[in-house]
Structure 1
Amino acid sequence: MCSIGVEANYDVKDAMLFGVKKTRTLDSFTPSHPLEVALLKHSQKQEEINMRMLRTMQGLHAPIRLHMEKLAVKDIGHLPCLHRHNAMLDALTGKDTTIEFEDFLNNQTDSEIMGQPHMMIERQLGIL
């Protein structure tokens, strides 16, 4: 018999407590096409252009204020059993008006399967 927080029989960790182990992440893959690197950097470059334009039109305070607002809404606390959507950050960056790949194909983090909330919060707090 296994207790809570201890590995189950046959050294298999409880996926409901510890999550599914991912062997490779998307960041560990090398780009397969030169255009893929340019597409990944496009949004960052576009953000720099927008901030430069905002600074010339409204002054130095505007990009600094927008940056501080983004930092404020970026790390809003949430329960560990719920997925973080960052709707306020999307509204500030303008991503709420676009439809991208992740919006219409089911993202794995948006699945309808939810773990046991009390156990996940206790694990985050270090009680388990």
Structure 2
Amino acid sequence: MQAAYTDAAGRTATSAATTNLGAGTLTSQTLTAGVYEWGSAVTIPTDLTFSGSATDVWILKVAGTLDMAAAKNVILSGGALPQNIFWQVSGAVTMGAGTHFEGVILGQTGITFGSLASINGRLLSQTAVVLDTTTVTVP
């Protein structure tokens, strides 16, 4: 986990368009493959879509916290796979109740999933993972 976290942290954003996208608020975004970087917290108040092929890779570097609103979804399209989406987060990760998430979370601090949330991916934390009737499916 530490090696993957450090590797992701050392990656450079793909372009200016993938740096501080949405000023940290990802509202109805569709993300294509690449390295995304935020110098602050990231909030996901609506559904978020990853669009790409089965060989595309996404690395999302978050310097602050990562929060997703309740009953929202991360959606994969075009053949995108959850095992190719890496969330490198230095702050706490909090997913609201009833959310559906996709990807591998590499958390420096705690990861908390609300009641009846689900994830296709992995939850790797340097401190703690807290689940409340959460379904975890490892791809």
User: TM-score, with normalisation over the residues of structure 2?
Assistant: 0.21
More helix by share: 1
User: TM-score, with normalisation over the residues of structure 1?
Assistant: 0.23
More strand by share: 2
- The higher-RCO structure (CA 8 Å, 6+ apart) is 1
